[in-house]
Every structure is written in C-alpha cells, then in structure tokens.
Amino acid sequence: MPKGTLEVIIVEGRRFKDKDTIGQSDPFIELYLHKKYKQRTTTIPNTDDPVWNERFTFNINEDEDTIHFDVYDEDAGGKDSIGSGKVKLKNVFDDGKFDEWVKLPAHLGVSVHGEIHIIMNFQPA
C-alpha cells in the first residue's frame, strides 16, 4: 500500500437504529486504522439522522489497508453500539477519493443499523 495522507470527512448519518428506550440516540463515531489510535466525532444529541461535517487526517504507512467506523449512542452510563462499518483503503487509493454511504451492519451482520456518508481523499507521500 502507498504511503501518504488520508483526509476523512464524516458528513452525516441516516436511519440509525435507536438504542434508547425513551427519546432518540446521541450518536458519535470512533474512526481508526489501528485500535490503539482512535479519533472521534462530537456527539450529536437526540437524533437518528445526525450531521457532523467533521474532518480528520491520518498518516498512511505501508501496512494499513482498512479504515473502521464504529458508531455509538452516548449515554450517561457509557456507550451502546449502533453498528460498525469499514472501507478497504484500496478503494480510496485507486481513485484518490471516496464519496459513498457506508452501511452499518449489526455486530452479527444480520441487519443494517443505519448508514454514514463518508468522503475520503488520499494524497500520496
């Protein structure tokens, strides 16, 4: 895989599966190449269709091949998983860009718990 800089824009989410028994979710996203270094969006309160428009930057080395997006509902007692998505970086490297909705399968992959709109741009080193 090539080295370079990956810019990731978390645009918005839609149709998140509501994890709260009363009210709507308070979603945020953790995104990472390696679990030891995660970046995080802000929490958007009381919505199942959040808009973030937040930008993140990752330095890409030769061993990274997938970016992960874990979506959570923030609660006073912690966080509940809404769903997780991932994108193979080859999809970004080939065109230099990526602009798609990424589905969030449930942890067992049986159903979809929403989608997130992701834009990525790659600049080779």
Share the mean pLDDT of the chain: 91
The beta strand positions in 41-111, using DSSP E, are 51-60, 66-75, 78-88, 97-105
> Which of 90, 112, 92, 111 is CA-nearest to residue 102?
112
Interstrand relation of 66-75 and 78-88 (parallel, antiparallel or unpaired): antiparallel
What local confidence, expressed as pLDDT, does residue 94 receive? Answer: 87
Q: What residues make up the domain containing 57?
A: 4-124
Q: Structural domain tally of the chain?
A: 1
CATH classification at residue 21: 2.60.40.150
13-69: pLDDT as tens digits: 999 987 656 678 999 999 999 988 999 999 999 999 999 999 999 999 878 899 999
